[in-house]
Structures are given as structure tokens and as C-alpha cells.
Amino acid sequence: MNNTQLTPYAATLLRVSLGTLALAHGLLKIFVFTPAGTVGFFASLGLPAFLAYATIGIEVVGGIALITGIFTRYVSIAMIPILLGAVLVHSGAGWMFSNEGGGWEFPAFWAVALAVQALLGDGAFALRLPQAKRHVLRATV
């Protein structure tokens, strides 16, 4: 095997890892912090409540989509603004995420990893729309 033959598996490993992280963070906001607690935190930052719900939804649905390999490029791109928002929220706490309030390096790296995933695409073992339906979908967008 050469590097080109391994690329789809590398993309899959990254995709499933990113999806698992996103799903875990979304479910954390649902089951531990609760949606009301997440809304309260967003409000403490001066952000509207709908952004808390949108963040939860994108993390859960996006995480599942990444794990399964559905619309990988689009989902990866859609999740980047959430991570850039997290970078801003955590930027006052400094570089390391172990600092009180968390640092900004983890969400920054996560945003870069999502950009890499968007460039790589689905990888191996992804659920995809049949080729004919993808052409119809592209034509209607």
C-alpha cells in the first residue's frame, strides 16, 4: 500500500473522531448541563437563546452525520463557526484548556481539524446518497 491508498482510511478515522467529539459535546449539553443550563450560559455571554439550541442541534445532528459519513464536507464546514465561537468564549482564559474557564487551543485545533475533514471528504465506509440522487440534489441547490 502507498500513502494514496491509505488516505480514505485516515479521513475516516478523522471523521469518526470528530463526529464522536461533537456528539459527546452535544449530549453533554443535553444531559449534564441541560438545555436550560446551556441557554443560561449563552445568555451570560450575551448570546441569544436560539444560538444555544442551534449549537446543541448542530453538535448532535452533525456528530451523527460525521460518524456515518453523510454530507461530511458540508457538516464539517457548518461546525467550524461553532468552534470559532468557542475560541472567542475561551480566549480570555489563556492558551491551555486546563486553565480555569478553559483555554482556546482545543476549540481552535478542532476547527482546523474540521477544515481538514472538509478538504479530505468522506473517506472510507461512509454512507452516501446514490450517485444519481447526488446529481439531482446538486442541480436543485
Instruction: Give the model confidence (pLDDT) of 87-136 as tens digits.
Output: 999 888 888 877 787 788 999 999 999 999 999 999 999 987 666 455 55
DSSP string, 18-74: HHHHHHHHHHHHHHTS-HHHHHHHHHHTT--HHHHHHHHHHHHHHHHHHHHTSSHHH
Q: C-alpha grid cell for residue 34?
A: 441541560
- Helix, strand, coil percentages (3-state) for the chain, rounded to 5, are 75, 0, 25
pLDDT of the residue at 139? 56
Average pLDDT for 38-55: 96
Which of the two residues, 90 and 43, has the higher pLDDT score?
A: 43
pLDDT of the residue at 100? 80
pLDDT of the residue at 4? 82
Which of the two residues, 25 and 127, has the higher pLDDT score?
A: 25
Instruction: Give the model confidence (pLDDT) of 61-82 as tens digits.
Output: 999 999 999 999 999 999 999 9
Instruction: Give the model confidence (pLDDT) of 2-22 as tens digits.
Output: 678 899 999 999 999 999 999
- pLDDT cut 90: percent of the chain above it: 74
